């Protein structure tokens, strides 16, 4: 088998028989988007296709009037004889793996994914293929996630201790994906909860699209600061070391990320508590996901690409490292643009 159905170009992962790009980082005519994080959904393409649950956020970020076609998971569509379908990636709401089939050759471009069921996004679905394109954001053995319930209980206990000390609890993470996961799994709330503009706007956009999320009040300049005592404040990481955060004094800061599994990451960010909660696969889940595809060849993108592809080859799985432009999710500039602060 030649294994040339998808190619890695300076613009994207490209399917030349169909003339379609997957998650292009440069403007193209036709693009399939795996999910709505900013490193996978770029502005300027003529036509987009994505899962229906990504529509509201893609239009928020790329423009209300973009040319966007949406499909359901498992729904097949054909372009120039190439068969495509999207399948759950479990990364965030609407995230998808792209299955591509042509002349008895099947590839799956997974985008970003996780195997933990977060209770909000559709859980990951393994897809059999000849060639699998995997991320390796956390492709080292040190990255192994605790159970989600354990992390949520740790957050509740941290919040309780802060309430007992009349402190606000400022909990930080990506506004798309991480925040909805926290809101979904911390309910019922043990006290008042308020949202930074980035979190508020994302939640309200999803609520307007029909997704089951509670209303979280927006923090404005006019919000009575007395209300923040003992409250949980949901915010992006970009608020660290800004004047915005000072209004909550006294406060304790917490950060949710897979990077918190590394000793010292919390100190480098100058936060009080780190919670190991990631929307990416950990070491064990990468191995599980790849094994379940039965892929004969694996391409490894964004993350520990060299290390992880070498490990796969040592395990007897043909693998190669690929350089892409993925991996810079939710940058500060975008957070500020969405929040309007």
- Name residue, tokens 């479990």: 90
Instruction: To the nearest 10°, report the CA torsion of 197, 272, 93, 128.
Output: 160
**Burial bucket for residue 67 (CB in 10 Å: 0-12, 13-18, 19+):** exposed
| E strand or H helix at 99 | strand 96-102
Residue-level pLDDT, tens digit, the chain, 341 residues: 567 899 999 999 999 999 999 999 999 999 999 999 999 999 999 999 999 999 999 999 999 999 999 999 999 999 999 999 999 999 999 999 999 999 999 999 999 999 999 999 999 999 999 999 999 999 999 999 999 999 999 999 999 999 999 999 999 999 999 999 999 999 999 999 999 999 999 999 999 999 999 999 999 999 999 999 999 999 999 999 899 999 999 999 999 999 999 866 666 668 999 999 999 999 999 999 999 999 999 999 999 999 999 999 999 999 999 988 887 543 333 333 333 33
∠ at Cα 319 (10, 307), nearest 5°?
Answer: 90
pLDDT for residue 47: 98
pLDDT for residue 2: 63
Long-range (24+ apart) CB contacts under 8 A made by 244-249 are: 244/196, 244/341, 245/170, 248/168, 248/170
SS3 285: helix
- Domains of the chain, with CATH numbers? 7-142+280-339 (3.60.15.10), 148-275 (3.40.50.10710)
Q: Which one-letter DSSP state was computed for residue 100? A: E
Full-model pTM: 0.93
**Burial bucket for residue 81 (CB in 10 Å: 0-12, 13-18, 19+):** exposed
Separation of alpha carbons 287 and 156, rounded Å: 31
Separation of alpha carbons 140 and 304, rounded Å: 7
Up-side HSE of residue 286: CA atoms within 13 Å toward CB? 31
């Amino acid at each position: 088998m030649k294994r040339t159905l998808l190619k890695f170009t300076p613009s994207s992962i490209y399917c030349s028989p169909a003339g379609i790009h997957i998650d292009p980082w440069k403007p193209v005519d036709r693009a399939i988007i795996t999910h709505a994080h900013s490193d996978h959904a770029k502005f300027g393409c003529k036509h987009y296709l994505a899962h229906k649950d990504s529509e509201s956020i893609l239009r928020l970020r790329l423009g209300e009037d973009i040319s966007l076609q949406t499909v359901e998971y498992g729904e097949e569509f054909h372009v120039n004889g190439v068969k495509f379908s999207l399948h759950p990636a479990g990364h965030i709401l609407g995230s998808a793996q792209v299955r591509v089939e042509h002349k008895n050759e099947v590839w799956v471009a997974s985008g970003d994914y996780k195997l933990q069921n977060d209770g909000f996004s559709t859980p990951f679905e393994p897809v059999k293929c000849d060639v699998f394109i995997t991320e390796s954001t956390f492709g080292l053995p040190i990255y192994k996630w605790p159970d989600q319930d354990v992390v949520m209980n740790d957050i509740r206990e941290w919040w309780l201790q802060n309430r007992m000390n009349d402190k606000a609890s400022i909990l930080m993470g990506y506004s798309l994906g991480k925040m909805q996961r926290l809101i979904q799994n911390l309910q019922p709330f043990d006290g008042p909860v308020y949202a930074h503009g980035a979190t508020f706007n994302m939640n309200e956009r999803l609520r307007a699209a029909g997704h089951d999320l509670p209303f979280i009040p927006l923090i404005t300049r006019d919000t009575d600061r007395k209300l923040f005592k003992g409250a949980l404040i949901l915010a992006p990481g970009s608020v660290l070391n800004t004047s915005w955060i000072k209004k909550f004094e006294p406060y304790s800061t917490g950060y949710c990320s897979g990077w918190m599994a590394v000793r010292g990451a919390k100190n480098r960010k100058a936060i009080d508590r780190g919670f190991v909660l990631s929307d990416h696969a950990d070491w064990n889940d990468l191995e599980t996901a790849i094994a379940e595809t039965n892929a004969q060849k694996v391409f490894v993108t964004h993350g520990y690409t060299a290390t992880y592809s070498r490990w796969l080859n040592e395990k007897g799985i043909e693998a190669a490292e690929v350089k892409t432009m993925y991996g810079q999710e939710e940058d500060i500039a975008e957070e500020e643009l969405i929040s309007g602060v």
